[in-house]
Amino acid sequence: MPMAEYIGPVARASTTSDVFNAVADMHRREILDALITGEKAVGAIVNDLSMSQPQVSKHLRVLSEVGLVKCRAEGRRRLYRLEPAHLRPLHDWVAKYEQAMNDRLDRMDDYLKELQRQGERQ
Amino acid sequence: MPMAEYIGPVARASTTSDVFNAVADMHRREILDALITGEKAVGAIVNDLSMSQPQVSKHLRVLSEVGLVKCRAEGRRRLYRLEPAHLRPLHDWVAKYEQAMNDRLDRMDDYLKELQRQGERQ
DNA sequence: TTGACACATGCCGATGGCGGAATATATTGG
DNA sequence: CCAATATATTCCGCCATCGGCATGTGTCAA
């Protein structure tokens, strides 16, 4: 068998800067979860979760680049807030599978709900 | 300033085998999208998308490990099918943000729908 | 059994991304 | 201006992952 010439890695889909990758990281999800109650300063996030400050800043940068958070300066603090509308791509993508989801396994779920309704009526 | 001792990389959240990471990869999303119409053999996927066969097999392995696809042998072919129920974690996580999503930007959406309804009535 | 087909797996090089440490930048108070 | 605080950025090492290539494994057909 002839050894084929090595071609080399093809230009890979440049990662970060798409929402799917942004939320793939657990720590970034934790940060988003922390912001769900309202805007927070970086230091508050650092305290709430226990991550280093540079780590938080860098993750916030990634989240910012995909639009999932916005920043507002107040004195020497930066208040970050959620921009949940930018989860749309993710939401829409998952929604495509809900039909299939309902068609397959969640028949059982419907069945259970039906039983429940009948139980309530008696 | 004293040089701090280097501690080394902390045990990082072991990646693959969570759904978020599985769908973070564009090619894996394409494979899932290809399976949305029903089960397909590996070769069919290789043809539909244009990826190498080992690439497809490896991505299918990752998707399989997180339960997003199941495999069925038919002769010498392996038919893969979607298991959309395993998108639940993703779905539930995104759903947490829908309230915030509606509360913020989609007031405009509601407003547009209201206008539309009024337009239909006249 | 042999050969062809369908797929999985192993190995490799390269790249990206993550976290830690250190430093830079900006803002406030005295 | 100076020190302290709050955050961003830079540099670096390591590891995971990705894709290409080659090969292994199982199945069918003749």
Are A56 and A75 members of one domain? yes
Q: How many residues does chain A have?
A: 122
CATH number at residue A11: 1.10.10.10
State how far the Cα of B91 lies from the Cα of B68, in Å rounded to an integer.
13
pLDDT band with cut points at 50, 70 and 90 for residue A116:
low
Instruction: Tell me if chain A has a CB within 8 Å of the CB of B1.
Output: no
pLDDT tens for B37-85 read: 999 999 999 999 999 999 999 999 999 999 999 999 999 999 999 999 9
A104-111, Cβ contacts within 8 angstroms, sequence gap of 24 or more? A104/B83, A104/B84, A104/B85, A105/B84, A105/B85, A106/B85
Asked if A57 reaches chain B (Cβ–Cβ under 8 Å), the answer is: no
Total of domains in chain A: 2
What mean pLDDT is predicted for residues A17-29? 95
Residues 48-107/A with CB within 7 Å of nucleic chain D are 53-54, 56-58, 60-61, 71, 76-78
The radius of gyration computed from the CA coordinates of chain A, to the nearest angstrom, equals: 22
Q: In the prediction, which pLDDT does A105 show?
A: 53
Residue A29, Cβ density class (10 Å: 0-12 exposed, 13-18 middle, ≥19 buried): middle
Angle, CA of B78, A96 and A98, to the nearest 5° = 85
Domain identity same for B61 and B78 = yes
Same domain, yes or no: A70 and A89: no
For residues B108 and B116, the answer to whether their CB atoms sit within 8 Å is no
Of B92, B103, B24, the residue nearest A81 (C-alpha): B103
Q: Assess whether B93 and B73 both reside in one domain.
A: no
Confidence of residue A2 (pLDDT cuts 50, 70, 90): very low
| Domain, as residue range, for B110 | 84-122
pLDDT digits (tens, 9 = 90+) for A25-35: 999 999 999 99
Same domain, B20 and B46: yes
Same domain for B73 and B101, yes or no, is no
Of A36-50, A96-110, B57-71, least confident by mean pLDDT is A96-110
- pLDDT tier at B10, thresholds 50, 70, 90: low
Per-residue model confidence (pLDDT) at position B120:
61
Asked if B20 and A29 touch (Cβ cutoff 8 Å), the reply is yes
* Shared-domain flag, residues A119 and A103: yes
Residues of B in contact with A83 (CB under 8 A): 104-105
* A56 and A23 both lie in a single domain: yes
Is residue A4 predicted with pLDDT exceeding 70? no
Same domain flag for B14 and B67:
yes
- The two structure tokens encoding residue A84: 């949940």
CA distances from A114 to A107, A118, B31, B119 (A): 10, 6, 35, 38
User: Cβ neighbours of residue B112 under 8 Å, at least 6 residues apart?
Assistant: none
Residues A66 and A98 in one domain: no
Nearest-by-Cβ selection for A100 from B23, B84, B105 = B84
Q: Which two tokens stand for residue B103?
A: 């509360």
**Mean pLDDT (chain B, rounded):** 82
